Structure 1
Amino acid sequence: MVAYGKDLDQLGTFLTDRKITQATTVRTEDIEAFKADLATKSYTPKSVSRKLNSIKTFFRYLRLNGILAYDPAEGVAHPRYENKPPRILSKMEYRALRDACRSDTRIYAIVELMLQTGIRIGELANLTTDDIKDEEITVAQFESHLARTIPLNHAAREALTQYLSIRHKTKDKTLFVTKTGRPLLVRNIRTAIERYFKLAGIDGAKVNDLRHTFVAHHLMAGVSPETVSKLAGHKRLSTTERYLDLIKDQVEGRTARLEEL
C-alpha cells in the first residue's frame, strides 16, 4: 500500500506540472507521457511496469465506480523487459569500482554500504543519521519491503565514518545529502555510481549489481540462504535461492559469520 500511494503521488505531481488537477480530465496520452518521463529518469522497465500497475488499478477503480466515463490507463502498454539472471561482480570488478570512486567520499560510502549490506538504492536514499548505530543500520519500511536491521562490518563503518566527517551540516537528518544539505535523490545516486562503473571500465553493470554481489558473495562463503534472505529483505526464500543456481559450484561450507567484500 505504501508503494501504491507513492506511485499515485508521483503521477499526481507530474500531472499537476502539466496543469491537470482532476482525474476526470486525465487522458491516455498524459499517462503515456508519464511513462516516457519515468524512462528518462533511469527507472528500469520493470520499475516502470510496477508503477503502471498501481496507476491502472487506480483508474480501473474510478471507472468501475462510475467516477470516470472511461479508463485512460487501460490502453497504456507495459514496457517490455527480460528477467535476466542477476549479474554478480567479480572481485576484480568491485575493487576497480572502489578505486575509481575512492576520492569521492560520499559516493565511496554509498558504494561500500550497498556492497557490504545489500541495501536497496531506494532504502539507502531514505536512511537517516538516526538509523546508523555503531555496528548496525536500521532500514525503515520502504514501498512493500519490511523494516530490518543489518550489521555493519569494518569496511562499511570506516567508509561511513569518513563520509560523516565531511557531510554538510544541516538540520535535515537524511544520511546522504548534497553539498548544499539537500537529500540526495535516487536518480542522482544511480547516475553517479554508473559514471564510476564506466570510469572503472566495467561494462554493462548497474547499481543493483552491488546488491546481487552481496547476496551471491555471502552464499558462496557458506552463509545460510535463510540468513542472507533476511538481511537482503527478500520476501520469499525462493528469491535468495535463485542465486544458488548461479554459484552452485562455488559454495563453501556453512558459516554464521558475515564476510567482508
Structure 2
Amino acid sequence: MKQAQVLNEIEFKRVVAMVRDGKHRKRNEVALCLSFWVGLRVCEIAALKVSDVYEADGTVKEIVNLSASQTKGGNSRQVIINQKMQKLLRVYCLQAQSCNFDGPLLPSQKSQKHFSSNSLCQVFWRIYKQAGLSNASSHSGRRTFITRLANASVNAKVIMSLAGHKNLSTTQRYIEVNPKQLLSAVNLV
C-alpha cells in the first residue's frame, strides 16, 4: 500500500495559502497545522475539545493530555504544542464565535459537534485535491512531521514518543528518504 505523500515546504505553504482563501479557513488551517506541526492523527484532531487545548482563562496549553478514548490504540498520551501552533491557536480562539469549553475544538459545520474521523479525512482529501496534491492524504501531515524531525537529527526515541508509537519500527516506516539525502550520506565517506 502506497504511503501518504510527505509535503515539502513549498507544497505545505501552497496548501495553507489555499485554505486561507477558502470556506472555514481558520478551522481548516488549525486542523492542518495540528497534523503538520504537532503530528496528531486525524482521529485525535477530530476528538479534541476546547478544554483539551485551552486553560479556563483562554491560555493555550503547552502540553495536551489526550485520553485513551481520543487516541489510536486506546492509550492516553501527552502531546507537545509548539510555539507556532500556540500562536495559531491563540488567534483561532479569539475568532471563534462561541468558545464552549466542553465543546469540540473543530466543530463540524452541520451539527457544531465533533467531526467523525472519516468526515475530517474527507475535509483533508478535498483540501489536498484543490491544492493539486493527488498523493496526499489525511496522514500526510503526520508523515511530514515525523520525516522533518528525523531530517533535523532528532533522536529516534524522541520522535517515537512525540508520534505516540510504542515501537521504533513503526516510527521508522513514517520517515521518507529522498535522493538528496542519499547523495549527502554517501558524500560523507
Runs of 5+ consecutive residues of structure 1 not aligned to the other structure? 1-81, 253-261
Q: What is the CA deviation profile of residues 120-169 of structure 1, one whole-angstrom value per residue up to 9, with x for unaligned ones?
A: 10011111122214323222222414222222122211222222223342
Q: Tell whether 2:79 aligns with 1:158.
A: no
Q: CA deviation at 1:207?
A: 0.9
CA distance in 2, matches of 1:220, 1:102: 28
CA distance in 1, matches of 2:101, 2:125: 29
Runs of 5+ consecutive residues of structure 2 not aligned to the other structure? 54-59, 185-189
RMSD: 2.4
Q: Tell whether 2:50 aligns with 1:123.
A: no
Q: Which residue of 2 aligns with 1:88?
A: 6
Give me the identity figure in percent: 24
Structure 2 residue aligned with 1:176, among 106, 121, 132? 106
SS in 2 for 1:150: strand
CA distance in 1, matches of 2:12, 2:108: 24
Give the paired residue count.
Answer: 170
Q: Which residue of 1 aligns with 2:124?
A: 193
Q: How does 1:29-40 map to 2 (within 5 A)?
A: none
Q: Which residue of 2 aligns with 1:203?
A: 134
TM-score by length of 2: 0.78
Q: CA deviation at 1:247?
A: 5.2
Q: CA deviation at 1:115?
A: 0.5
Q: CA deviation at 1:90?
A: 1.5
Conserved 8 A contact 2:4-2:137? no
Conserved 8 A contact 2:52-2:64? yes
After superposition, the Cα gap between the structure-2 partners of 1:182 and 1:245, relative to the gap in structure 1 and judged at 3 Å, is: closer
TM-score by length of 1: 0.58
Q: How does 1:34-53 map to 2 (within 5 A)?
A: none
Structure 1 residue ranges (4+ consecutive) displaced by more than 6 angstroms after TM superposition: none
